[in-house]
Amino acid sequence: MTAYADLILLAVLLLGVYVLATSRLGAAIRAVAVQGGLLALLPITLAARTSWDALLHVGLLSLGTLLLKAVIIPGLLLRTMRTANVRREVEPFISLHTSVLIGAVMVGVAFWMGSVLTLPRPAPATLLVPVALATLLLGFLVIVSRRKAITQVLGYLMLENGIYVFGQCLARDMPFVVELGILLDVLVGVFVMGIAIHHISREFDNIDTDELSTLRD
Amino acid sequence: MLLALVIFLPALLGALAWLMRDLRQQLWLLVGTASAHLALTASFWLFRPSSVGFFLSLDALGLLFLSLMSALFLAASIYSVSYLRAHAEDDVAIDRYVPFLLWFLAAMTLVTVTQHLALMWAAVEATTLASAPLIYFHRRRAALEAAWKYLLICSVGIALALLGTFFLGIAASAVEPTPPLVLGALAASGKSLALPWLKAAFVLAIVGYGTKMGLAPLHTWLPDAHSQAPSPVSALLSGALLNCALLGILRFYQVCTAAGADAFARTLLLTLGFVSLGVAAALIVGQRDYKRLLAYSSVENMGIIAAGIGVGGAATFGAMLHAVNHSLTKAGLFFLAGNLLQTYGTTRAAEVRGAARRLPMTGALLVLAMLAIGGSPPFGPFVSEYLIFVKAFEANGWLGGLFAALLAIAFLGMAGVLLPMAQGKPADDGQKPEREPLSSIAPSLALLAAVLVLGVWIPPFLSDLLKQAAGLLGG
């Protein structure tokens, strides 16, 4: 099954780069949704467990991930995009070409780091650590290089996705309650951010974070 | 089960408050819950509650920060009564204030009573989510901006702390059988943890939780959030929330100590502590906004605590004592700043003059609190800062000298802003002293009295707990 895992990870990585490259906000949100859906499959492909108990655990976790990362959160973001009357372009600080180039360098760095870092126990899939680091870095890039509040939330979600991939290295040891707690935190976080975006768009007529720069010394 | 109760009590009553529409009832509920929380916490001093699974357990460090938070919360609740009544007519999110404040308490409580590091992470993130709406209490553009910065910067910071927690899990996977992410189990594995991953985990934790704790250069959200939030919320952010983030770092530090990586961890803490001290001192001097001034003072004091732990040995005790002193004094200062803001309607220091005449109690307390936070005797912060200074000086003369110099600069900077506000000549001489409601004065008066007592005498029950807490940190 781990061959499938590497395939999924590759797709996750490509979707991450696609978010950098696309100029349309809706497409970026959908790409992150698909990324979340793929991540939900990841624990299933990596499961080498035999007991029903463990299978139930994996199944529930996958279901939870699918619902939150692929359905509810992207749905909230798309709704925010419509209700807050956001312009449909991404509006980066740097051009899309440049950000894809920087992203490519980051992917290279992530793969290099993945080959240098040796896990005490071999990772369940070869691409796991490099793709986790790459997704994380791409998420950072989206946060700092995009003007709109909603795109920054998208970057935060990619960052979380990268950490989620990394978490698969220790899925064995993480109790269910905690995993669910982490997912829930992300959901509520996006929910609260969505409300904030709504208020920002009402106050400022748009949600460019450029406007949010009056507080300083 | 008592540990579960102390979390669920505020969480459930917060939900109840959400359903209430009457402000009076909500305020009664708030003060009642705060008192019950404090009573429960006080009972933990007599009978340490038993652990619940490996999710909840309370040690000396947890109890110290829990008690501090609970006491401050009661003070903030009482202060909120006059604060909310004064703002009842404004365009504010008034019926959402009490529920979010109670949920904030529940999340912070969970941080202190768990030693499961992933659960603690979830709790710290929950504190961000519960407090962001509180920062946007005053429906202003600036408050919205502050809340957005707080949400985004802290969430990203906290995400790094989650990665650090996972790194810790990787470090633990070198051990057979792999221990759960619980402090006791990890510390018991000690030297068999994978050291490079452990060190990387600590770096991520100090960056991640350090963002929330306000360690420079990651403190950028802090002055905005503190200056825009309602004063009782600022007091809690500064006096209780920053300590929760500190606790997050300390838990990782405890694992490092057990694994023999404590020298590495202390060097990092010392460095970031001094950077914070320096940055804060530079920004305090010439600061024009008095609430931002207090926020930068929090950055400074978090730096002092981090540096104290970084120095190690007996300075660890000093750092724990300083956490207590700082929380009590700073919360009092924010309450006083709230009184000034309500009377003068501005946070610009230059427009507040002659507070001692217009608000006699507030003005007098402001001067005393300023002396206390600046570290002058006979107040508590003097004792704790002196303890840290002596140990830093013994370790390295230059280090001690730099520490003292930065403290002096910060003190002079604070005095330069706050003294003219209290003394100075009022803009309008004929103004009569205004009425100061008891609930706006009593909290800061009580906190300052406690700080004064701590300056001359540390009660044995407290010094025992501080010693135990410092002992957990290898001090």
Mean pLDDT confidence for B189-200: 91
Mean pLDDT confidence for B204-220: 92
Report pLDDT for B428: 66
**Residue B159 to residue A160, Cβ atoms within 8 A:** yes
Report pLDDT for A206: 63
Count the Cβ atoms, other than its own, within 10 Å of residue A22: 18
Report pLDDT for B257: 93
Of A119-128, B44-53, B132-141, B375-384, the least confident: A119-128
Domain boundaries, chain A: 2-211
Exposure on the CB side of residue B28, measured as CA atoms within 13 A: 5
Q: How confident is the model at residue B438 (pLDDT cuts 50, 70, 90)?
A: confident
Q: Which two tokens stand for residue A45?
A: 């492909």
Residue B467: exposure state from Cβ atoms within 10 A (0-12, 13-18, ≥19): middle
- CB contacts of A182 in chain B (<8 Å) are 118, 121-122, 162
Cα–Cα distance for residue pair B353/A200, rounded to 1 Å: 35
pLDDT at B109 over 80: yes
Count the Cβ atoms, other than its own, within 10 Å of residue B126: 24
For an interface test with B, which of A150, A169, A173, A197 has the most B Cβ atoms less than 10 Å from its Cβ?
Answer: A173
Count the Cβ atoms, other than its own, within 10 Å of residue A3: 10
- CB contacts of B289 in chain A (<8 Å) are 217
CA dihedral B82, B83, B85, B89 (to 10 degrees): 160
Cβ neighbours of residue B331 under 8 Å, at least 6 residues apart?
B72, B75, B76, B235, B236, B238, B239, B443, B444, B447
Cβ neighbours of residue B91 under 8 Å, at least 6 residues apart?
B138, B139
Mean pLDDT confidence for B362-387: 93
Average model confidence (pLDDT) for chain B? 92
B234-256 pLDDT per residue, tens = 999 999 999 999 999 999 999 99
Cβ neighbours of residue A165 under 8 Å, at least 6 residues apart?
A9, A12, A39, A42, A128, A131, A132, A135
**Residue B121 to residue A173, Cβ atoms within 8 A:** no
Strand-pairing partners, residue B348, are B289
- CB contacts of B114 in chain A (<8 Å) are none
Q: Which residues of A touch B (CB under 8 A)?
A: 119-121, 136, 140, 143, 149, 152, 156, 159-160, 163, 166-167, 169-170, 172-175, 177-178, 181-182, 184-185, 188-189, 192-193, 196, 199-200, 203-204, 209, 212-215, 217
Report pLDDT for A174: 67
CB neighbour burial string for B442-453, b if at least 16 within 10 angstroms, e if fewer = bbbbbbbebbee
Of B112-116, B147-151, B199-203, the least confident: B147-151
Q: Which residue of A has its CA nearest to B177?
A: A173
Cα–Cα distance for residue pair A20/A98, rounded to 1 Å: 10
Give the 3-state secondary structure of residue B288: coil
**Which residue ranges in chain A fall short of pLDDT 70?**
1, 48-50, 172-178, 180-181, 205-208, 210-211
Length of chain A: 217
pLDDT at B178 over 90: no
Mean pLDDT confidence for B73-86: 92
Cα–Cα distance for residue pair A159/A101, rounded to 1 Å: 19
Q: How confident is the model at residue B427 (pLDDT cuts 50, 70, 90)?
A: low
Cβ neighbours of residue A152 under 8 Å, at least 6 residues apart?
A142, A143, A146, A209, B152
